[in-house]
Amino acid sequence: MIQIEHLTKRYGGFTAVDDISFVAQPGRVTGFLGPNGAGKSTALRMLTGLTPATSGAATVLGRRYSELPNPSRHVGVMLDAAAQHPGRTGREVLQLAATITGMGRARVDEMLDLVGLERSEARRRVKNYSLGMRQRLGLAGALMGRPQVLVLDEPANGLDPAGIHWMRGLLRDFADQGGTVLLSSHLLHEVELIADDLVMIGGGRIVAQGGMKDLLATRPGCVADAEDRAAFANALSAAGIPVAGRADGAADIEADAARVGRVALDAGVPLTLLRPADGTRLEDMFLQLTADTARGDRGVTTSSRDAAASGATAPDASPAQPSSPQDTPTREEPTA
């Protein structure tokens, strides 16, 4: 299990990660989503002890990462596949990982087979690897110590469609065997297919979190259409019912179907369509929830309230925790 509690990272006056709390449960894949610069990598780096937190705590299996004895036996980490030593061969990278984790040499070949790297490819230097090959090598290294927890930053980056499919199966199996997976990704479709739980951040703050099924459950409201769209729009507007247009010309309406039907009837506008609202697609939710989390506007959004209404938990609008003495702004750190 991974537990993040009020985790915050400030760089000088800039807050990269702002009081986030969530749990990644064993037996489940937790997707960690957010637009560029949202703070995902920073949060994962704090979790794995690479960046000190300004305040808050992150624990893996009940302990801070730095307190775990031989952490790679417990937590497989892949944060930046491109950061592997370019001059080493793939096999050397894995042999080193095997030594660090105390695994036998046979485990290297086992891992090469698991991630689909050929023996001949393992003899090449990493600088000559494609991005997808580096991802596979990184995953092999992360899995080397038979960890119970995987922390992966953009693991599907650079993988071809077959590779993405393969990785999905691998992570699903890992979770089904009781492992905890926390992965960040921009590939929303992939996350939609693989994640059981979601944590979405924007501007350093959590904008939605919860079970994938709950988050994508049918939203309240309905979809309706009329032959006389202008008359229908006027009737809804007169009733104070908010409406959004859809690509197919119908209306997304924030009111239940019975009310909308009555408004149309009273206005004498025959409807050609009236049905409950669609389930939200992850991409739609992502765009809605993160569009209005630009820095400087980090309160609860209408969209996050909608998501909350559909089962997601949105954060409260409380301001960030005040600084404590140890929260002295940190200068930029060199990247690992």
Between 237 and 328, whose beta carbon lies closer to ligand ATP?
328
The one among 11, 74, 124, 313 contacting ligand ATP by CB under 6 A? 11
Q: Give the integer Cα–Cα distance in Å for 233 and 173.
A: 50
Strand partners, 222: 253, 276
Between 42 and 101, whose beta carbon lies closer to ligand ATP?
42
Q: Checking DSSP bridges between strand 197-202 and strand 29-33, what pairing results, if any?
A: parallel
In angstroms, what is the minimal distance from the CB of 311 to ligand ATP? 24
For 162, residues 6+ apart whose C-beta sits below 8 A from its C-beta are none
The region of 32-40, 53-61, 107-115, 216-224 touching ligand ATP under the rule CB under 6 A is 32-40
Token pair recorded at residue 34: 């957010």
Check residue 39 for interaction with ligand ATP (CB under 6 A).
yes
Q: Give the integer Cα–Cα distance in Å for 108 and 91.
A: 7
Tokens 């765009």 locate to: 287
Between 121 and 190, whose beta carbon lies closer to ligand ATP?
190
Q: What Cα–Cα distance (Å) separates residue 1 from each residue in 71, 93, 109, 171, 280?
A: 14, 27, 29, 15, 28
Check residue 332 for interaction with ligand ATP (CB under 6 A).
yes
Check residue 220 for interaction with ligand ATP (CB under 6 A).
no
Check residue 333 for interaction with ligand ATP (CB under 6 A).
yes
User: For ligand ATP, what does the binding mask look like between residues 40 and 79, x meaning CB under 6 A?
Assistant: xxx-------------------------------------
Instruction: Residue 273: name the closest of 219, 226, 221, 235 by CA.
Output: 226
In angstroms, what is the minimal distance from the CB of 16 to ligand ATP? 3
Between 71 and 203, whose beta carbon lies closer to ligand ATP?
203
Strand partners, 119: none
Binding residues for ligand ATP (CB under 6 A): 11, 16, 34, 36-42, 332-333
